[in-house]
């Protein structure tokens, strides 16, 4: 409960029924805009994968997966934590070419996630992935893709404001690009999250780059699994949220590892044992295509664009009873 933010005199501009309609409107509008902006096809994706497949996302490497045994053959399966690896395999299996990509609805259970204004153990996001060339594995291409995604978000917000005039907040259309090392040098006396908050408050729309690598203070800004993003070519899209008066991460994305960066990052994390999996072998031998991809939180985007104070106002999940009561007392009504 210590992490819960209660905005003073908060009242949602939308009723519960209006909110349900608006959630559908946001999702329908944004996914069309995203598909157009980044050139993506919608595909169907798994909710569960086999435990020994090596396909499930390890996130920061410490989160426990939800797993179970299958009655028919006794094998073990896991609920996905994201589809970072599955998408790259899918692009290979479906024979996508450079410049083509996919997106899908990803639903996951992250049992070890926090529960606060923007975190839930139920995660829903648009997972997307696109084939790129060797020449496109650059910071410039990464930035161009970020700009396209931000434009899709800004477009969706404009449509929301036209339908619901009471939602008047605006979004800065030009993302400010900064690396985690540059951010540390800018705010050396602040913690990682405090640095994010400071830059988001100042610049409003930020792409924070190079997450996962060790900084000059000997720490990582944040954890990132070593076998999907290239830590030199990744980042988070962060907005300043006026309702919460806080930094608000919408997307984690990046250019994916190639054979060289996979080897380097696995060695740095002491995770060379992962090379036993087909997914990792197919990166090392060049079978899998070079890609860029990420996840964009569906409930987070709805929360942000509909100017809500808690993610529970735009998704159905499980919450501590004390949190439900505190929120209701302060005008925050969960679905």
Residues with Cβ within 8 Å of 143's Cβ and at least 6 positions away in sequence, in order, are 177, 207
Catalytic residue among 12, 57, 298, 313: 57
Catalytic residue among 110, 195, 256, 300: 110
307 is a catalytic site residue: no
Q: Are 250 and 296 in contact (CB under 8 A)?
A: yes
Q: Are 101 and 136 in contact (CB under 8 A)?
A: no
Residues with Cβ within 8 Å of 158's Cβ and at least 6 positions away in sequence, in order, are none
In the block, residue with structure tokens 């924070």: 208
110 is a catalytic site residue: yes
Catalytic residue among 12, 136, 252, 299: 252
Secondary structure of residue 249 in the 3-state scheme: strand
Question: For residue 235, how many other CB atoms are within 10 A of its CB?
Answer: 30
State CA 161 to chain mean position distance: 24
Long-range contacts of 247-250 (CB under 8 A, 24+ apart): 247/193, 247/196, 247/197, 247/199, 247/200, 247/201, 247/206, 248/118, 248/200, 248/300, 248/304, 249/118, 249/196, 249/297, 249/300, 250/153, 250/296, 250/297, 250/300, 250/301, 250/304
Question: Which H helix or E strand runs over 292?
Answer: strand 291-297
Give the chain's radius of gyration (CA, Å): 20
Catalytic residue among 230, 232, 236, 258: 236
249 is a catalytic site residue: yes
242 is a catalytic site residue: no
252 is a catalytic site residue: yes
Q: Are 311 and 300 in contact (CB under 8 A)?
A: yes
Catalytic residue among 129, 249, 307, 313: 249
Catalytic residue among 31, 120, 125, 315: 125
236 is a catalytic site residue: yes
Catalytic (active-site) positions: 57, 110, 125, 236, 249, 252
């Amino acid at each position: 409960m210590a992490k819960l933010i209660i905005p003073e005199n908060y009242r949602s501009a939308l009723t519960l029924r209006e909110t349900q309609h608006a959630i559908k409107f946001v999702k329908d509008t944004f996914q069309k805009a995203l598909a157009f902006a980044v050139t993506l096809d919608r595909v169907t994706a798994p909710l569960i994968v086999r435990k020994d497949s090596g396909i499930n996302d390890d996130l920061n490497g410490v989160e426990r997966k939800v797993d179970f045994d299958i009655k028919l053959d006794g094998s073990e399966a896991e609920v996905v934590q994201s589809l970072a690896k599955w998408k790259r395999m899918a692009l290979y299996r479906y024979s996508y070419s450079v410049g083509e990509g996919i997106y899908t609805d990803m639903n996951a259970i992250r049992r070890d996630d926090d529960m606060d204004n923007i975190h839930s153990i139920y995660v829903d996001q648009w997972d997307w992935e696109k084939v790129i060339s060797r020449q496109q594995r650059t910071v410039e291409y990464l930035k161009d893709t970020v700009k396209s995604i931000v434009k899709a978000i800004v477009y969706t917000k404009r449509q929301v404001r036209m339908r619901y005039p009471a939602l008047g907040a605006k979004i800065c259309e030009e993302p400010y690009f900064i690396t985690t090392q540059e951010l540390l040098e800018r705010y050396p006396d602040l913690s990682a999250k405090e640095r994010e908050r400071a830059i988001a408050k100042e610049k409003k729309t930020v792409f924070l780059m190079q997450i996962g690598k060790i900084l000059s203070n000997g720490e990582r800004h944040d954890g990132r699994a070593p076998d999907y993003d290239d830590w030199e070519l990744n980042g988070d899209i962060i907005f300043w949220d006026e309702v919460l008066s806080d930094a608000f991460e919408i997307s984690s994305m990046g250019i994916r590892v190639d054979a060289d960066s996979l080897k380097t990052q696995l060695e740095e994390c002491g995770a060379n044992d992962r090379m036993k999996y087909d997914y990792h072998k197919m990166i090392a031998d060049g079978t899998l295509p070079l890609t860029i991809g990420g996840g964009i939180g569906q409930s987070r985007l709805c929360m942000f664009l509909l100017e809500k104070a808690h993610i529970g106002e735009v998704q159905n999940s499980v919450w501590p009873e004390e949190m439900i009561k505190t929120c209701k007392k302060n005008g925050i009504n969960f679905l």
